[in-house]
Amino acid sequence: MWTWFHKFASPPHAYRLLGNLAPWFGWPALALILLAAWWGLVKAPADYQQGDAFRILYVHAPSAWMSMFIYVAMAVAAGVGLIWRIKLAHAAAAASAPIGASFTFLALATGSIWGKPMWGTWWVWDARLTSELILLFLYLGYMALRSSFDDPQRADRASAVLAIVGVINVPIIHYSVEWWTTLHQPASVTKLDKPSIAIEMLIPLFIMIVGFQLYYGWAVSRRLRGEILRRERNATWLKEGI
């Protein structure tokens, strides 16, 4: 197992493998996202209460899910990099952060657009929106710390510690924000709580989540290849191979 691991973690092999993998993520992602978009926007029935406005859910919920998934994936990659000193894992964490931050921003933007017809305002200090906002701050802090070091190895290891500290804090932040809103607000703003979502609305949502996951796989392979090129720019295998 360890020889396989080290072989995979060697930059030339990883570079080639990621190049081969990317289309296997990219095309299914495109197909599934298009299918889910058609299913969710056209075929699924309109909500009896929110009408067609609920359809933004098909972008909002998967982005929110991805924003948390990528943070955890990033922290796991950072932990692997820190413990076994695998540079490729650090590079994967570095490649994931901007994608995760983009999904977080997308979740916030769609949540705010959804809030306008539902709540009458662009922004409500709702628990989910607020903890998503704090997650965006965590991503931005991680990227700011990474970019403030000149030495890439130090940037890798310092930001890895931050990612691990952050991932321990994410559940604390999530629950504290949830309790904060339940303590402050009357329960009248819970219009968005889906009592029980109909199955024909749920299927496109699941397809969209799988599509987003595959998109992440595609995007991270592409970015990781770029990251490897940047880090290995002086290596001999690059000069010989390409």
Partner 1 sequence: MQRTAISSAAGLVFRRDLTLAWRRWDEVAQPLIFYVVVTTLFPLATTPDLSQLREISGGVVWVAALLASLLALESLFRSDVEDGTMEQWVLSGQPLGWLLLAKVASHWVLTGLPLVIMSPVVGTALGLPFSAWGTLVLSLLLGTATLSVLGGIGAALTVGVRRGSVLLSLLVLPLAMPLLIFGSRAVGMVMDGDSPAGPLQLLAAIFFLTLSLGPLAMSAAIRISVES
Closest distance of CB 46 from partner 1, Å: 37
Q: Closer to partner 1 by CB, 97 or 118: give it.
A: 97
Q: Closer to partner 1 by CB, 91 or 177: give it.
A: 177
Closest distance of CB 196 from partner 1, Å: 31
Cβ-based burial of 101 (10 A; exposed 0-12, middle 13-18, buried ≥19): buried
Report the amino acid identity of residue 66: M
Q: Closer to partner 1 by CB, 82 or 99: give it.
A: 82
Compute CA distances 208 → 28, 129, 215, 240, whole Å: 11, 21, 10, 41
Q: Closer to partner 1 by CB, 39 or 126: give it.
A: 126
Tokens matching residue 37: 């978009």
Q: Closer to partner 1 by CB, 113 or 123: give it.
A: 123
The answer to whether residues 131 and 91 touch, using CB atoms and an 8 Å cutoff, is: no
Tokens matching residue 4: 């396989």
Chain residues binding partner 1 by CB under 8 A are: 82, 134, 137-138, 140-141, 144-145, 148-149, 151, 153-154, 157-158, 161-162, 164-166, 168-169, 172-173, 176-177, 179-180, 183
Closest distance of CB 158 from partner 1, Å: 5
Compute CA distances 1 → 6, 36, 215, whole Å: 9, 38, 28
Closest distance of CB 146 from partner 1, Å: 11
Q: Closer to partner 1 by CB, 138 or 207: give it.
A: 138
Number of residues that this document lists for the chain: 242
Rounded to whole angstroms, how far apart are CA atoms 117 and 105? Answer: 20
Closest distance of CB 44 from partner 1, Å: 36
Rounded to whole angstroms, how far apart are CA atoms 79 and 39? Answer: 39
Closest distance of CB 106 from partner 1, Å: 19
Closest distance of CB 172 from partner 1, Å: 5
Q: Closer to partner 1 by CB, 1 or 183: give it.
A: 183
CA quadruple 219, 225, 228, 234: dihedral, nearest 10: -140
Q: What is the CB neighbour count within 10 angstroms for residue 20?
A: 9
